[in-house]
Amino acid sequence: MTYTVIIIGGGVVGALTARALSRFECPALLLEKNRDVSSGASKANSGIAHAGFDAKPGTKKALFNVRGSRMMEGVCNELGVRYRRNGSMVLAFNDGEYEHLKSLRRQGEANGAGGLSILDGDAARRLEPALSGDVKYALLAEAGGIVCPYSLAANAAEHAARNGVTIKRDAEVTDIRRENGLFYVKAGGTEYAGRLLINAAGLHAGDIARLAGDGSIRVKPRRGEYMLFDKKIGGTVSHTIFQVPSAVYGKGVLVTPTVEGTLLVGPNAQDLEYGDAQADETTVGGQADVWARALKSVPGIARSSLITSFAGLRAISDTDDFILGWSESVPGLLNAAGIQSPGLTASPAIAEHLAGLIGEAEGGLRPNPGYNPRLEERPAILELSEKDLQVLIAKDAAYGNIICRCETVSEGHIVESIRRPCGAVDIDGVKRRTRAGMGRCQGGFCMPRVLEIIARETGRAFTEITKKDDGSYILTGRR
């Protein structure tokens, strides 16, 4: 089969682009090198829908940030993804930083971001009582929001699959050749043919471009470390709290509620070497830095409520802007590289843009007559009324068997997460789709049961089940 489009990369940009293309009669294939989608930058970031005041006017970051911010709520509603427009604040601790706030407000207004105002410290603390008494001013951005990034990518991929897109995981691209107007992409030992190629490979976008014959893209990783706190202090702040950006720390260490009710602080920023795309470990120094900077904004955070820490890698291009558009050297290659912050916010608009470019290249695309714009909602047990819960359990008793007590996740929800199109295949895949293992005990009680359910549903041996990708086996044998 020859596909109209082959998409390389199953992060939030690749998955949403696949979904955007599924609206049309446009045979598309998405290739993801890992065992699951949302396994790169999309799984480990702040989950912030930025208002649009950070990016320099006239850049792609500014354009797609504001457009994506306006699209995000509607996209999340269609995909059944948690989203909340909670607003954000940028704090200033002195008069020099106050001048920076005024600059950010002017920049945001130039970008088309509305709802920007500057508060004095007392007014800011009336909105957020936990803020430091040292805060003198705050830029309030009413359009800021929070979203679940890994759910957005996973649900977009599932929605694309339900609407006809072919998705291949565990399919690392090892060769690309162009012949007779077609791209031949070898991935996971199989060769696929397509007329057009979208490079949405995140940290590996430069490698993919070079395989296709375009040597112009250089992307390096920037590591950011985070700390995640228990739901019992999740309401410490209601807005996303930033500090004035700096050349070293970018938007800096933030303190934010999450849509799941926890509290997240981070990230710091450490530039790594080109090709060092696996260095996503936390460090003692990095964690200490994140903690100290978070306390500057919100001094009352209880360290005893820390659940876990993690690190994510951001794809930084040497242009310091998104690289979006047709390759100048390889006909038919469409690059979406260097999608760093505000890439998550911009992703719905980027996907729409890429699909539009594909439509132009094909001379127009006919609508998919079977396209279903919505993904069926799967409310968590705690979101159901007692009556609706009893109806669900009557249909399938597995929904009454609670596997993850911290997050109240049932066996039925875990089974469903595995059986759905582009469903979970490992422990972390179940975790991202259901939150089993994301609570206070971090899977200490539920992981063995989740492993057992995955083995039962997939027909694999216990010793074949991984936490994430190859090598992360939970069990190595029997005694």
Residue 287: CATH number of its domain: 3.30.9.10
Are 199 and 329 part of one and the same domain? Answer: yes
Domain-ending residue, one of 269, 301, 317: 317
Spatial contact of 184 and 191, defined as CB atoms under 8 Å apart: yes
Spatial contact of 33 and 79, defined as CB atoms under 8 Å apart: no
Tell me whether residue 252 is exposed, middle or buried, using C-beta atoms within 10 angstroms of its C-beta: 0 to 12, 13 to 18, 19 or more. buried
pLDDT value of position 273 = 80
Q: How far is CA 366 from the centre of its chain?
A: 30
What number of other Cβ atoms are within 10 A of residue 432's Cβ? 26
411-419 helix and 427-434 helix, angle to the nearest 10 degrees = 110
Please choose, from the candidates 262, 260, 244, 264, the residue with its C-alpha nearest in 3D space to the C-alpha of residue 252.
244
Are 114 and 230 part of one and the same domain? Answer: yes
Residues in Cβ contact with 70 at an 8 Å cutoff, skipping those fewer than 6 apart:
none
Residue 408: CATH number of its domain: 1.10.10.1100
**What tokens appear for 118 in the block?**
């500057």
Looking at the domain assignment, is residue 4 inside a domain? yes
Looking at the domain assignment, is residue 477 inside a domain? no
Q: DSSP letters of 170-233?
A: S--EEEEEEETTEEEEEETTEEEEEEEEEE--GGGHHHHHHHHT-----EEEEEEEEEEE-GGG
**Count of H-run helices and E-run strands, the chain:** 12, 22
Total count of domains within the chain: 3
| Known catalytic residue at 413 | no
Catalytic: which of 50, 159, 353, 413?
A: 50
Looking at the domain assignment, is residue 472 inside a domain? no
Residue 8: CATH number of its domain: 3.50.50.60
Please choose, from the candidates 40, 370, 428, the residue with its C-alpha nearest in 3D space to the C-alpha of residue 200.
40
Domain-ending residue, one of 309, 342, 377: 377
What number of other Cβ atoms are within 10 A of residue 452's Cβ? 14
Per-residue pLDDT tens digits of the chain, which is 479 residues long: 999 999 999 999 999 999 999 999 999 999 999 999 998 888 888 999 999 999 999 999 999 999 999 999 999 999 999 999 999 999 999 999 999 999 999 999 999 999 999 999 999 999 999 999 999 999 999 999 999 999 999 999 999 999 999 999 999 999 999 999 999 999 999 999 999 999 999 999 999 999 999 999 999 999 999 999 999 999 999 999 999 987 555 567 999 999 999 999 999 999 888 666 567 889 999 999 999 999 999 999 999 999 999 999 999 999 989 999 999 999 999 999 999 999 999 999 999 999 999 999 999 999 999 999 999 877 778 788 889 889 989 999 999 999 999 999 999 999 999 999 999 999 999 999 999 999 989 989 999 999 999 999 999 999 999 998 778 898 988 77
Residue keyed to tokens 């295949």: 425
Task: Name the residue type at position 130.
Answer: A
Are 70 and 132 part of one and the same domain? Answer: no
Q: How far is Cα 329 from Cα 351, in angstroms, rounded to an integer?
A: 22
Tell me whether residue 449 is exposed, middle or buried, using C-beta atoms within 10 angstroms of its C-beta: 0 to 12, 13 to 18, 19 or more. middle
Are 389 and 304 part of one and the same domain? Answer: no
Q: How far is Cα 417 from Cα 432, in angstroms, rounded to an integer?
A: 10
Looking at the domain assignment, is residue 32 inside a domain? yes
Task: Name the residue type at position 108.
Answer: G
Task: Name the residue type at position 462.
Answer: F
Looking at the domain assignment, is residue 39 inside a domain? yes
Spatial contact of 137 and 98, defined as CB atoms under 8 Å apart: yes
pLDDT value of position 379 = 78
SS3 of residue 282 by DSSP: coil
Are 77 and 158 part of one and the same domain? Answer: yes
Are 388 and 453 part of one and the same domain? Answer: yes
Are 157 and 192 part of one and the same domain? Answer: yes
Task: Output the 3-class SS for 28-97.
Answer: EEEECCCCCCCCCHHHCCCCEECCCCCCCCCCHHHHHHHHHHHHHHHHHHHHCCCEECCCEEEEECCHHH
Spatial contact of 7 and 14, defined as CB atoms under 8 Å apart: yes
Full residue range of the structural domain in which residue 273 is found:
83-146+220-317
Are 3 and 111 part of one and the same domain? Answer: no
Are 302 and 450 part of one and the same domain? Answer: no
pTM (2 d.p.): 0.95
Looking at the domain assignment, is residue 475 inside a domain? no
Q: How far is Cα 19 from Cα 389, in angstroms, rounded to an integer?
A: 31
Task: Name the residue type at position 413.
Answer: H
Q: How far is CA 280 from the centre of its chain?
A: 15
Please choose, from the candidates 143, 133, 137, the residue with its C-alpha nearest in 3D space to the C-alpha of residue 123.
137
DSSP code for 24: B
CA 221 vs CA 13, 140, 218, 276, 316: distances in Å: 17, 30, 10, 7, 6
Residues in Cβ contact with 112 at an 8 Å cutoff, skipping those fewer than 6 apart:
52, 66
Spatial contact of 446 and 440, defined as CB atoms under 8 Å apart: no
Element (H, E) at 127: helix 121-127
Spatial contact of 56 and 107, defined as CB atoms under 8 Å apart: yes
Element (H, E) at 349: helix 343-361
pLDDT value of position 248 = 54
Are 232 and 308 part of one and the same domain? Answer: yes
